[in-house]
Amino acid sequence: GAVVSQHPSWVICKSGTSVKIECRSLDFQATTMFWYRQFPKQSLMLMATSNEGSKATYEQGVEKDKFLINHASLTLSTLTVTSAHPEDSSFYICSAKPGTSADTQYFGPGTRLTVL
């Protein structure tokens, strides 16, 4: 149980275009989902916390207009990287927290974004 999927697993796009990444909890309802960014050989940095039906809470230094997060249902959150630039190239990982679990997050497989 507690499976989280992400789609796509990798994407290559041109500079200036927008890319949408989906995060789904497959076998549980997730009231809260999180979006992380992982640079090569570095740790995960939390970008934002997404709560179903409300606006996301962004971490300091993360541009909310650039990284649009929507949590439309209890099983789906999306991250849209708008007007992507090469410096946005990274590994984006989502996690989901079941409503009944105090603090355990379950992670998706990640999405590799490459902006040319």
Catalog residues that contact another protein under the rule CB under 8 A.
Answer: 4, 32, 34, 42-46, 49, 51, 57, 93, 95, 97, 102-110
Q: Residue 87 CB, nearest distance to another protein (Å)? A: 21
Q: Residue 83 CB, nearest distance to another protein (Å)? A: 27
Q: Residue 89 CB, nearest distance to another protein (Å)? A: 19
Give every CB contact of residue 101 below 8 A, 6+ residues apart in sequence: none
Q: Residue 59 CB, nearest distance to another protein (Å)? A: 8
Query: 65 or 103: whose CB is closer to another protein?
Result: 103
Query: 50 or 75: whose CB is closer to another protein?
Result: 50
Pairing of strands 10-13, 111-115: parallel
Cα 76 from Cα 35, distance rounded (Å):
12
Query: 34 or 67: whose CB is closer to another protein?
Result: 34
Q: What is the dihedral of CA 46, 89, 22, 49, to 10 degrees?
A: 20
Cα 102 from Cα 64, distance rounded (Å):
27
Pairing of strands 19-25, 44-51: unpaired
